[in-house]
Every structure is written in C-alpha cells, then in structure tokens.
Chains A and B, each alone.
Chain A
C-alpha cells in the first residue's frame, strides 16, 4: 500500500493543473454543502427548541383523523370543508395512559380556534381584513399549561387563574395593535372577541389579565399566540354537548320543515291579538333537552401537549403511547413537536431539502467534470499502466492505484472544503446576522442567525467526500483496468 500511496501522491503533485481543477470543484462542493447544512442544522435545533419550549411541548396527542391537523388547525389547504378540529375521544383513558408513562413530566390540554379582535368599542370599525384575519387563540387550563411551559414569562399583570375568564396577550401583539389600530390596550381592559361561523355571530368579552413573553422570545409567534380561558374558547368554537348528536324529529315537526315560510304568515292561522295572554313558552314546549344539549362541553379538548423528563427518548415514548392507544382502541395519535407545529416547522426541512437538491445537481455536474478529467488522465497514462501490467501488476493493483489517487485527492480537497466551510460558519456566527422579518422569525424560530459547527456535519461532509471520491473513480478505474500490457509497447 505504501508504494501505491507514494505513486498516487506523486502523480497528483506531478499533474498539478488537473489536480487543482478537480480539487477546486471538490473543495467548493464540500465547502458549500458543509456551510449550508451546518446553518440548516443550527436553525433546525433553534426551531425545535423554540417550538417545543414555547408551545408544542415534546409530544402532542390529537384525535385520529383522515385530515391532517396541527396545533393551529387543519393542514389541508386544498379544501375549506370540514375545517373543524376533531375533539379527543376517550379523554380520561388517554390521561390514564399518560399518567402511566414514566417519561412524562407534565401535560396540559388545549382547545384551539380563531377569533377576531373587535375594537369597535374603541372607535375602530371592523373591516373585511379583520374578519378574514382572526387571531389564533388557545384555550388553556392555566395551572397545567404553565407547568408544562414554565419558561413563559408574565411581563405585566398576572397569569390566568383556573376557572377565571380572561385573556393573555403578548407585548408583540399589543404593539402591533397599537400600530395598526391605534388602540393602546393595557392590563384590565376588556377585549371583545368575535367569531362568525355557521351558527351566526358570537361575541365574548374577556379582560386582559396579563402580558406574556415566550421562553424563546419570537416576535413572529408572539404576534399570533393569544391565550384565553378554555371555556371562552369552547363557546367561541361552539363546542357544546349536543353538537355531535343526531336529533330525531317526529312527523308533525318534520312537516313544518317542508312548509313554506310564507305560510307562517297566512291569514288562516290564528293571530295573537294585542293584549292576549297566550303562553309562548308553552307553545315552544319543554326546553330542558335543548338547554342541556346547548351546554358547553367541559370535557372537550382538541390536543394534549406533553413535556417529557430531560433526556427522555421522545420517539420511543411516542411509539409506546401509540401502541397503547391502538391496543385500547382509542382513536388518538401521539406526534412529535414537528407534527404538532405543522407546516411552519417543516419549512426549514423543506428549505434544506431544496438546498440539498440544488447541491446534488451541482455535485452531479461536478462529478461528471471530475470523471472526464480523470479519464483523460488515464488515457494519457496508458503506457505507464501498460508497463505496470507488463511488469506483473495485477488488475487489482491498478484498481487500488487509481482509487487511491481519486480518494486521496477527494480527501485532501474535501478536508480543505470542510476547513474553509468551518471558517465560513464561524464568520456567519460572529456576524450574528439579525432576522428582522416576522415570517422569517417564524421559519427560523429565532431573531438572529446563530450557527455552530457540529461533528455530525463534519462526519456528513467526510461521508460526502468519500462518496464523491468513490463515484468519481468508478468509470476512470474501469477504463484503466481495460488497458492491456500491450499498451506498454504500442503506445508511444
């Protein structure tokens, strides 16, 4: 191997121009991939930390559904039908399963939905934009919620108390309202919440009890995260006991449904004369059932957010929970923080996939150039290869020689690429590039670009280098192996 290494190394230094052309391509490719993936990995870690610390927890349990739902609601953007988030069934059994899971540190249940903030009382008329927008709202049970998300800070006022009606908003959202609506809200003010749905207009008024900040401050998310007491959220979401029940009507009542509305005002119908003492309530009959069906469903929850003990096996816990739910035939599913956060959390992954796709295409082009250069080199060295074969070199020797040359070249320039990439990453980290855009803050879950070199990325870059070396060497080596010892004599 010493001889092969020596010959390979000397050939690389002897054919300096070719080595530098190929080497520059390898350095550029590995360096770019290293910087890009290191940035993405750092961002992903930041995103994970930001999401799980702020609002998803480590695991989320949601109702099984054919549609995809995240903490923010439906992820199916193709249809506006049936956007209602399904309620968790067998809720108490799910809680029993969580209590029986050793790695679970704490959990809390939430009801999610949207409501429009109405500032008509402050002299600001509602416009279409307000109605379209709607603020994402999370109905929480305060005690368990702030135990599961202990990093959330109350900047002003206080936190919600269990059973209390109220709202918690972020400083970022209040500043936004002050800028856009010219309404300055302070702790103690009444907030009017509107929901326009199938069952008409709902209006709820709740006091602003406190102003919060996330554990990992994030203006983008704080602007869209508002917490209310769960009963208010349920009533805004029309989560009533009877909402899922089918009511059977008798024939006389069904006939009314087929009656034209004009008939109700027909002259033939008895009219109530002024001063009459007709018992209207008596006409409507017994309302007990209706009242009970319209009662807010206190046991309805959309999601359960779970915090695990430090260093717990998250995928293992998810698998264990899902196995127990399946076994007990409970129609819920446990997902990780990404599944909980939905589309925004996957944007970073998507961006990384796109980045690597571009890099892959560039790598393929670079590998083709490298292969061509190496094949030319083999053709130029045919007499040398033929001589080696004539002197007794087996094909395996020739294979080792050319593979060593390519791997050596890929290795050296790959390491240079990693070295330059590391410098690039350190420079990016030193610059602490600020992320001012709210949408980007949500994607990166950070306010500045914070990157660190990781051993995982170094290992990945080395792996890439080896792959480039091996793939680039296959065809040139096959050409070299076909060189006959006769080439020692027939080629000048």
Chain B
C-alpha cells in the first residue's frame, strides 16, 4: 500500500473574475521510505500538490489518500490531528517560532498532541535529533541568533520529532547558500536512510532532483514525468 496516493487531483483558485488552474488533474503514488522530488519550474503546481499532501489544502476535485485513507472530506479537527501524527514540515522560510529557543522549537510539536508530556524517552530523542543536526551548542539560542542553515537544521529536527511517516519540504534550500543547502539535503538524505522516513520535497534545482530516488516532474499543473531510481544511481558527493 502506498503511503501517499494522489488521484486525479485538481486545484483551481479564483483570482478576481478568472479561475487559475494550478493543478489540472494529477495522479501518482509514493511508497514508504521514498526520497521524493516534486520538480518543475515556478508555477508548475509543485507547492500546491505539496500542500494537498500536507493536508493544509484540499483538492477542488480528485482525492488524496494518506495510508490508503481519503482525506478530502475530513473536518479541520481530524485533518489537524492527522497532520500532527503523520506529517512533518520543513518550510522554505524555516518558520520557527521566534520566541522559542532551538530546543523548545524542536520540542514544540510534541506539546500539541493529546499526549503532550515530555518523557525521558522523548527528551532522549530530542537530544538525538539535536546531535544529528549538529546544534548541541545552540540549544538555548532563539531563531534570531541562528544562521539560515542552523534555522533549517532546527526545522528538520522539528519536522522529525513526532516521528512522522512523511516529511514535506517546500524548496528547503531556496533561502540558503549553495554549501549550506547541500549540507541540509545530505542531512535529510541521511535521516531518510537511517529512520526510513518518507521525504517529499519540491524543487526546481536539478542538482537536488538528482539526489531523489523518486522524481515527479510537473509542468503547467500536469505530471510530465514520474519515475523511480535505484539508491545507487542518485548523485551527490558524500551522500
């Protein structure tokens, strides 16, 4: 069973008196543990598809299945709960909570669920994530005291703290310099390998696409390519 399945999904937006067709009917499936790149130029519908998979937007037509369950008819409360339990987010602009420290930002999603106690097991896992993203000496710093790369590392750790099945990353390296972007991607790939978390990221950077083992290429709101590659054929130095 696919962890994510998109069936004939369409998304139209009303823009004044005209209707913008952002996604014109796309279908694809993503398996557990995939490192997926949704690639395409600006305006191709990458972010819209990512938002629909991330349950923060609903298709105008068609359906999105998460772990085999349709989600388009779910009410806000259930969608929010499903999002919290299943999906982690890495945003282009990091979107850290400005008043929280590195550690508190990573911890934050754990406090939103029904079981919101920070147990020793959870504390240990947070320590592990902080170590994985290399921010041991930045735990008490707030986002305005961190570099862009460090902020994105915090965001990665935050996305993983609830042990989600899927992590969505919308152009995660767009606001980073090349070296930092590469480092972030390698980190994501490492986590993907070690924890078997499914990563789905949107990008228009060919270098990043080459790192993915499953590529879905879009153009004008339609899928133009959808293929998988063996892990060995993905390319990036050090990966």
Contacts and interface: CB of A to CB of B under 8 A. Distances in A.
Decide whether A and B assemble into one complex.
yes
Interface of A: 3, 6-7, 10-11, 14, 383-384, 386-395, 397, 484-486, 488-489, 492
Contact of B95 (A11, A383, A395, A397): A383
A392 B98 contact: no
A490 to B, nearest CB: 9
Contacts, number: 75
A484 B56 contact: yes
B187 to A, nearest CB: 19
B163 interface: no
Contacts of B77: 394-395
B234 interface: no
Contacts of A392: 80-81, 83-85, 109, 112-113, 162
Contacts of B112: 388, 391-394, 397
Given A392-B83, A486-B56, A488-B91, A3 B76 contact: no
B7 interface: no
B44 interface: no
A10 B97 CA distance: 11
Most interface-central of A10, A387, A390, A391 (chain B CB within 10 A) = A391
A395 B113 CA distance: 13
Most interface-central of A387, A389, A394 (chain B CB within 10 A) = A387
A199 B132 CA distance: 109
A386 B57 CA distance: 12
Contacts of B89: 387, 390-391, 488
A489 B84 contact: no
A486 B95 contact: no
- The 6 A-B pairs with the shortest beta carbon distances in the complex, nearest first, are A392-B84, A10-B99, A485-B56, A387-B95, A392-B112, A3-B111
A394 B99 CA distance: 20
B158 interface: yes
B183 interface: no
Interface string B151-166: 0000000100010000
Contacts of B104: 6
B45 to A, nearest CB: 14
A51 B47 CA distance: 78
Given A391-B158, A392-B84, A7 B56 contact: no
Contact of A486 (B51, B84, B97): B51
B93 interface: yes
A489 B47 contact: yes
Contact of B93 (A6, A14, A383, A484): A383
B71 interface: no
Interface of B: 47, 51, 54, 56-57, 76-77, 80-81, 83-85, 89, 91-93, 95-100, 104, 108-109, 111-113, 158, 162, 170
Contacts of A383: 93, 95
A11 to B, nearest CB: 6
Contacts of A389: 56, 80
Given A384-B95, A389-B56, 7 more contacts: A389-B80, A390-B89, A392-B84, A486-B51, A486-B56, A488-B91, A489-B92
Given A485-B56, A488-B56, A489-B56, A395 B76 contact: yes
A7 to B, nearest CB: 6
Nearest to A8: B99
Contacts of A393: 80, 112
Contacts of A387: 89, 91, 95-97
A492 B93 contact: yes
Nearest to B56: A485
Contacts of B98: 14, 384
Nearest to B50: A489
A384 B81 contact: no
B56 A390 contact: yes
Contacts of B57: 486
B108 A390 contact: no
B97 A489 contact: no
Given A384-B97, A394-B77, A489 B91 contact: yes
Most interface-central of B96, B98, B104, B158 (chain A CB within 10 A) = B98
Nearest to A492: B93
Nearest to A9: B99
A485 B83 CA distance: 11
Contacts of A391: 83-84, 89, 108-109, 112, 158
B109 to A, nearest CB: 5
A392 B89 CA distance: 10
11 contacts: A10-B99, A384-B95, A384-B98, A387-B96, A389-B80, A391-B89, A392-B81, A393-B80, A397-B112, A489-B170, A492-B93
Most interface-central of A392, A484, A488 (chain B CB within 10 A) = A392
A393 to B, nearest CB: 5
A489 B50 CA distance: 11
A391 B83 CA distance: 7
Nearest to A13: B99
B97 A7 contact: yes
A7 B98 CA distance: 9
B18 to A, nearest CB: 19
Contacts of B170: 489
B97 A390 contact: no
Nearest to B76: A395
Contacts of A388: 97, 112
B49 to A, nearest CB: 12
Contacts of B96: 387
Contacts of B80: 389, 392-395
